[in-house]
């Protein structure tokens, strides 16, 4: 489902003397449907960079990233938009939403974008928020005012609203209490069971052991010192 071939990434900082920073070389990785692959490596080793490249957020310098048949490294913006709408989900560590939109609608939005009936989308959002223990009185409020843990759970609910065939998870269990952590791990296992290909970063080793089928160390993709 997710195929990464000879992927390289460098940043050129034009305003700092055109310094070029090579961050990744010849990354190779694949995630099959129903499989969960965990990325490991020290902070700054390039886990998030790799995830962002798969998401289309960072531009690949060379190589291929195929998600559901589309090469994200070469795709047109509109193809990536369609991919994100239909195929690829992403739970990031940060919630980025328009202020003033109700939590329920924030979670329902991925479904609404797919043309799902408003009532159906809201019902799905409500069931996820209930499972993730977001009190009902918070649903009509904007999540921008929530605590870190609440925002994280809203973000997860949003990421799992649509049954994406491929999912990117960036620290989904960070800053969650035991109960909610359990709910999130259940959601991940359910997604695997329905055939989703998952690529994730888990600092929580127990969680990693439970859901990941394989681990990939991104230090293997590090640029070899000359």
Q: Which residues would be at the binding site for other proteins (CB under 8 A)?
A: 11-15, 52, 56-59, 77-78, 80-82, 85-86, 96, 98-101, 112-113, 115
Q: Which is nearer to other proteins, 30 or 58 (CB)?
A: 58
Least distance between other proteins and beta carbon 11 (Å) = 8
Q: Could you write out the DSSP letters of every residue in 110-145? A: HHHHTT--HHHHHHHHHHHHHHTT--GGGTTS-GGG
Residue 69 has which token pair? 């048949």
Q: Which is nearer to other proteins, 7 or 183 (CB)?
A: 7
Q: Which is nearer to other proteins, 97 or 138 (CB)?
A: 97
The whole-angstrom separation of Cα 197 and Cα 37 is 8
Contact 20, 12 (CB under 8 A): yes
Least distance between other proteins and beta carbon 87 (Å) = 11
Least distance between other proteins and beta carbon 10 (Å) = 11
Q: Which is nearer to other proteins, 35 or 105 (CB)?
A: 105
Q: Three-class SS string for 46-110? A: CHHHHHHHHHCCCCCCEEEEEECCEECCCCCHHHHHHHHHHCEEEECCCCCCCCCCCHHHHHHHH
The whole-angstrom separation of Cα 216 and Cα 201 is 10
Q: Which is nearer to other proteins, 51 or 188 (CB)?
A: 51
Least distance between other proteins and beta carbon 179 (Å) = 32
Least distance between other proteins and beta carbon 53 (Å) = 9
Strand partners, 169: 91, 200
């Amino acid at each position: 489902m997710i195929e990464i071939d000879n992927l390289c990434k460098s940043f050129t900082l034009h305003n700092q003397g055109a310094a070029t920073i090579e961050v990744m070389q010849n990354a190779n990785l694949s995630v099959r449907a129903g499989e969960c692959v965990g990325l490991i490596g020290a902070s700054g080793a390039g886990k998030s960079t790799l995830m962002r490249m798969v998401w289309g957020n960072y531009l690949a310098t060379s190589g291929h990233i195929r998600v559901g048949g589309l090469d994200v490294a070469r795709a047109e913006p509109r193809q990536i938009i369609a991919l994100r709408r239909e195929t690829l989900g992403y739970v990031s560590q940060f919630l980025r939403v328009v202020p003033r939109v109700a939590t329920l609608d924030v979670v329902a939005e991925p479904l609404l974008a797919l043309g799902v009936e408003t009532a159906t989308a809201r019902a799905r959002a409500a069931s996820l928020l209930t499972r993730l223990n977001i009190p009902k009185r918070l649903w009509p409020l904007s999540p921008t005012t929530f605590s870190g843990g609440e925002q994280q759970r809203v973000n997860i609910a949003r990421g799992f609203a649509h049954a994406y065939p491929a999912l990117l998870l960036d620290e989904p269990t960070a800053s969650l209490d035991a109960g909610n952590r359990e709910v999130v791990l259940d959601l991940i296992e359910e997604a695997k069971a329905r055939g989703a290909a998952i690529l994730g970063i888990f600092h929580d080793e127990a969680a990693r052991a439970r859901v990941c089928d394989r681990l990939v160390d991104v230090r293997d993709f590090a640029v070899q010192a000359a």
